[in-house]
Homo-oligomer: A and B are copies of this chain.
Amino acid sequence: MSRESDTSSMSAAEADPAAMMALIEELFPICRSITGGGVRRTLSILQRHIPLEVHEVPSGTTILDWTVPREWNIRGAHIIDQDGARIVDFAASNLHVVQYSRPIDAVMPLSELRPHLHSLPDEPDWIPYRTSYYNENWGFCLTHHQLSSLADGLYRVVIDSDLAPGHLSYGELLIPGESEDTVLFSCHICHPSLANDNLSGIGVATMLARHIQTLRRRYSYRFLFIPGTIGSLTWLARNEDKVQSITHGLVLSCLGDAGGVTYKQSRRGDTAIDRIVANVLHHEKVPHRIRSFVPYGYDERQYCSPGFDLPVGCLMRTPNGEYPEYHSSADNLSLLRSESLAHSLAVLRRIVAVIEGDAVYRSCNQKGEPQLGRRGLYAAMGGQRSADYDQMALLWVLNLADGRHSLLDMVERAGVPFATLRAAADALLAVDLLEPAPVRADTGVV
């Protein structure tokens, strides 16, 4: 049994940060929302990198407890003061308009306009990001400095948008493997010019898909590029027959900031993906935190709803809502660190290597240790202080290869990186001291 484990070192080079950053920079200016041309343009750019299938679901389609909303498109928007000055302009930042704002062209006094203006008093230089998807409304976002400087008087307010029957668009890529057991990677594509929240996940997911295409694969891999909430609900509702083949999954977001890695566990908390991510992060150098599931955050909320309860966690660096720039114009390209993006991708490649490399084996010599020496696997001279490290790895695998422990179980018990025991298992397989156990490798259950 040969195996192409991804045990290369996590250099920035391997992760190709320049290509990732170039992709993110190209996507940054586009005004994405949960529907509309911005999403289509985004998916179309991604198709230059990976063979994404784009799905279009008509407005009005019933999706579980929800309905696909009207499609929203916007061409421009601005506020002009009574001196004729264009004081707020969508052309300057697509965050200036509350997403899903209905069209308007009206003149009104400040007192009437004021409830439609949103700012961040604590961060007076930043424009907030606001949406009103399911509650028809209109509004502008602006810096608190701008808001504070508005004089009484009349303002002309223009939003040149459409809210009309159309489609919800999402992208999907299935990379088939030997088994129909599937690893899901999901990221949201519904935020306009926000870099860490949205684009970092898109960029890393795209490059991860490219990497996985190059691997020999036991598992199949499914990548979803979807609008948040309604997109994951749509995929789940349309693919109920595929849901139960998801054996591992990760929602990807906020993967480019300077912070350490945060892993939010699946609802069940002890699934294979939870254990694998914990193991990979434990042997990483970068600081990390592991958090229990909470029913708030990204699309893991839907994947982990009780009726699906999938083994899907969420991999981030600084989580949503916990960095000051979150959901504001300050979550821009300057927030991203090339080395963070590269490291996030490298961690994901390690995770994939563990998913692919995990298996349950049986030692061919259950009773007593086999004689490693006559297979060239033992130090020739005895009595030295201790077995060297690889020696220990061989002994761990032999001792725990009882057909009930997976390699993941073994590394958790031995406290070593997965690759160490994977290499030992390969060495033992090569001399017929080990054989695959007749069980499903991903569960370890006979």
- Chain A residues in the interface with B (C-beta under 8 A): 64-66, 98-99, 118, 128-135, 137, 229, 232-233, 236-237, 267, 292, 294-296, 301-302, 304-309, 321, 326-327, 363, 365-371, 373-374, 380-387, 391-392, 395-396, 398-402, 413-414
Whole-angstrom distance between the alpha carbons of A168 and B263 in the complex?
56
Integer count of this chain's copies in the complex: 3
Chain B hits for A118, CB < 8 A: 381
The residue on B at minimum CB distance from A380 is B135
The residue on B at minimum CB distance from A399 is B295
* A307/B367 contact (C-beta < 8 A), A137-B380, A321-B385 known: yes
* A367/B135 contact (C-beta < 8 A), A383-B128, A385-B321, A385-B327 known: no
**B306 near A366: Cβ-Cβ < 8 Å:** yes
**A380 near B132: Cβ-Cβ < 8 Å:** yes
**A383 near B131: Cβ-Cβ < 8 Å:** yes
**A367 near B131: Cβ-Cβ < 8 Å:** no
Whole-angstrom distance between the alpha carbons of A99 and B384 in the complex?
13
Whole-angstrom distance between the alpha carbons of A377 and B303 in the complex?
21
Chain B hits for A134, CB < 8 A: 371, 373-374
Chain B hits for A64, CB < 8 A: 365, 367-368
Given contacts A129-B383, A294-B396, A302-B368, list 4 more A-B pairs with CB under 8 A: A64-B367, A296-B387, A305-B369, A306-B363
Smallest CB separation, A11 vs chain B (Å): 32
Smallest CB separation, A435 vs chain B (Å): 13
> Closest 6 CB pairs between A and B?
A307-B366, A307-B367, A306-B402, A295-B399, A131-B382, A295-B395
Whole-angstrom distance between the alpha carbons of A306 and B366 in the complex?
5
What are 21 contact pairs spanning A and B, CB under 8 A? A65-B365, A65-B369, A65-B370, A99-B382, A99-B383, A130-B381, A130-B384, A134-B371, A134-B373, A232-B368, A237-B367, A267-B399, A294-B392, A294-B414, A296-B395, A301-B395, A305-B369, A305-B399, A306-B398, A308-B368, A321-B386
The residue on B at minimum CB distance from A373 is B134
Is the contact region of chain A dominated by helix, strand, or loop, or is it mixed? Answer: loop
Residue of A135, A321, A369, A380 most packed against chain B (CB within 10 A) = A369
Chain B hits for A130, CB < 8 A: 381-384
Smallest CB separation, A194 vs chain B (Å): 10
Whole-angstrom distance between the alpha carbons of A399 and B382 in the complex?
54
Whole-angstrom distance between the alpha carbons of A292 and B413 in the complex?
9
**B367 near A308: Cβ-Cβ < 8 Å:** yes
Chain B hits for A398, CB < 8 A: 295, 305-306
**B229 near A369: Cβ-Cβ < 8 Å:** yes
Smallest CB separation, A270 vs chain B (Å): 14
Smallest CB separation, A292 vs chain B (Å): 8
Chain B hits for A307, CB < 8 A: 365-368, 402
**B400 near A306: Cβ-Cβ < 8 Å:** yes
**B392 near A296: Cβ-Cβ < 8 Å:** yes
**A306 near B399: Cβ-Cβ < 8 Å:** yes
Whole-angstrom distance between the alpha carbons of A362 and B180 in the complex?
31
The residue on B at minimum CB distance from A404 is B306
Whole-angstrom distance between the alpha carbons of A301 and B399 in the complex?
8
Residue of A129, A363, A385 most packed against chain B (CB within 10 A) = A385
**A368 near B399: Cβ-Cβ < 8 Å:** no
The residue on B at minimum CB distance from A320 is B386
Chain B hits for A129, CB < 8 A: 383
Chain B hits for A401, CB < 8 A: 306
**B396 near A295: Cβ-Cβ < 8 Å:** yes
**A327 near B367: Cβ-Cβ < 8 Å:** no
**B65 near A385: Cβ-Cβ < 8 Å:** no
Residue of A64, A232, A400 most packed against chain B (CB within 10 A) = A64
Residue of A296, A308, A367, A399 most packed against chain B (CB within 10 A) = A367
The residue on B at minimum CB distance from A392 is B296
